[in-house]
Amino acid sequence: MAYEPQTLPIRIPLSPSSRLPTIALCEMLHNTVLTYRKRLPSGKDTGLPTLDIREYMQSLPEMDRFLTVDELNADFEAIAAEFPEMATLERVGTSTLGEPISMLTIGNGSKQALLFACPHPNEPIGAMLVHHFARMLTQDETLRDGLGYTWNLISCVDPDGTRLNENWFAGPFTVTNYARNFYRPAGHQQVEWTFPSFYKQNYFDRSISETEMLMRVIDRLQPTLMGSLHNAGFGGVYYYISHDRPELYDTLHTMPGWEELPLRLGEGEASYAVEFAPAIYKLLSSRDAYDHMETNGADMSTFSHGGSSFEYAEKYDTFTFVTEMAYFDDPRVNDTTVTETTRREAILKDLDNSEADYGVVTRTLDAVKDDLKTDSLFQDAISSFAHMHAESLSAERTWAESDPSTERMATVAELFSSNQEGRFYRLLVLGMLLRMLEGEINVGNGTPKIRNGYKEALAAFTESSSQLESELNYRAVPIRKLVAVQLGSVLASAQLLADSSH
């Protein structure tokens, strides 16, 4: 279904100096604030309350850091103890390292809503949302019961991995510090991407314990609404949803402007992503990835990748959403000015740069692998990302060289995606390589090969991060703004489905 906006999508240009919208745009935002009505397009009264989404977003307090796993667990325990008549806390699973995982349930509506945070452990914005949203539900009867939901909240589905990111949770919030303390699991160890997947030659049945926990919860609840609470590292706001719902898009486009955040209007996160509307995509699936690689000539004989939570919940016709808000932004992330460079030139240059950057990682890993003793999660992650990069590189080149859509001139935002954003994400892998080597040295395994590998990796990291820091005109987005946009996505989706069910 084609998207026909009722109003022009709001794009907030960020001034290099202040990054604040112009007065004219502020007035436009004021005049185009969207609120849901109690009436469906047919004019039939639903009888449901209308949530003032912007007011809920603005009610969030300022936040100067992200909460740790221990703090999140303690918060849920306190809510269950304080509000036993409306909140129930139950253990629903166990992490790979043996840590209990709990779910807080609030409300008693006929529709089940499931929100789970930290599906990737370097993405704690959803944990902050769940932390504040749980309190909102206990204090606001309309929010709790008005739309007919039972709210099921998991504050952290990957506590093991999240603990490995906690060193950057209190700042300083810079690109360098984030990359230096970053951890993201290998593909086969990610909660989000280890759901069973059986498609063509792909056969994946190695779900980890955290994913099996989510499978049990999804099967039990059969949720009407599910939020896998992700976030991005660099860029603007963009969305993934399971169903094409054009009546939702104006609100999704407008909400970031309320918090002075830009939409991300550059290249899609995946070249095969289906765009429903600007910055709004169909949720990615392992099937789509397989078909894209197969179509572009990749060897699929060794392809073995898990499915996502969205794919698993499809059997229940669950409306699943993912809202991607980035810690850092730059005035270029939504600049649609046309440049003199084609998309093809920019994408192919990025692929060349990625091959060179991953070459540093793989050469270092090959040089030290026989001396490694700790068998760390960092080693698993680096090896996995290097393999995935090599596996997809030829297919991405074939796509970029042959797809007619890459022949047009790129926008500033698309150039930024293919250059600075790509380098930012590859810096994170280099940061994990350093952490792996530091771990070996810290346990007394500082062999000459490991010390030399660490020295070379540190020099590469320092050069790359310094270059990025000098080229970027970025800000660390206030945490409250990021949480607010994710909250707005939850409420907008919940309102839409509740109204539609009537």
Q: Confidence class of residue 17 from pLDDT cuts 50, 70 and 90?
A: very low
The hierarchical CATH code for the domain 23-30+66-330+477-501 is 3.40.630.10
Cα(489)–Cα(323) distance, rounded to whole angstroms? Answer: 7
Q: What is the signed CA dihedral for 10, 13, 19, 23, rounded to 10 degrees?
A: -70
What three-state secondary structure class fits 11?
coil
Provide the pLDDT for residue 27.
Answer: 37
Span 409-426, pLDDT tens digits: 999 999 999 999 999 999
Please check the confidence at residue 184 and state whether its pLDDT lies above 80: yes
Provide the pLDDT for residue 29.
Answer: 35
**DSSP readout, 411-445?**
EHHHHHIIIIIHHHHHHHHHHHHHHHHHHHHHTT-
Please check the confidence at residue 304 and state whether its pLDDT lies above 50: yes
Strand partners, 493: none
Q: Which residues touch 165 (CB under 8 Å, ≥6 apart)?
A: 121, 122, 124, 181, 182, 183
User: How confident is the prediction for the chain on average, in pLDDT?
Assistant: 91
Q: Confidence class of residue 20 from pLDDT cuts 50, 70 and 90?
A: very low
Domain ranges in the chain are: 23-30+66-330+477-501, 338-473
What's the residue count for the chain?
Answer: 502
SS3 content of the chain, % helix, strand, coil (to 5): 50, 15, 35
Please check the confidence at residue 502 and state whether its pLDDT lies above 90: no
Which is it for the CA torsion 26, 28, 31, 32, positive or negative? Answer: negative
Q: What percent of the chain has pLDDT over 90?
A: 90
Provide the pLDDT for residue 501.
Answer: 86
Range from 23-37, 104-118, 207-221, 275-289 carrying the lowest mean pLDDT: 23-37
Q: Confidence class of residue 47 from pLDDT cuts 50, 70 and 90?
A: confident
Burial call 113-127: b when 16+ CB within 10 Å, e when fewer: bbbbbbbbbbbbbbb
Q: What percent of the chain has pLDDT over 70?
A: 91
Please check the confidence at residue 18 and state whether its pLDDT lies above 80: no
Task: List the structure tokens of 346.
Answer: 């920019």
Q: Confidence class of residue 25 from pLDDT cuts 50, 70 and 90?
A: very low
Q: What is the signed CA dihedral for 333, 338, 343, 346, rounded to 10 degrees?
A: -70
Cα(210)–Cα(161) distance, rounded to whole angstroms? Answer: 11
Q: Confidence class of residue 331 from pLDDT cuts 50, 70 and 90?
A: very high
Cα(26)–Cα(20) distance, rounded to whole angstroms? Answer: 9
Please check the confidence at residue 16 and state whether its pLDDT lies above 60: no
Span 423-464, pLDDT tens digits: 999 999 999 999 999 999 999 999 999 999 999 999 999 999
Span 468-477, pLDDT tens digits: 999 999 999 9
Which is it for the CA torsion 376, 161, 274, 280, positive or negative? Answer: negative
Q: Confidence class of residue 45 from pLDDT cuts 50, 70 and 90?
A: low
Alpha carbon distance, N-terminus to C-terminus of the chain: 22
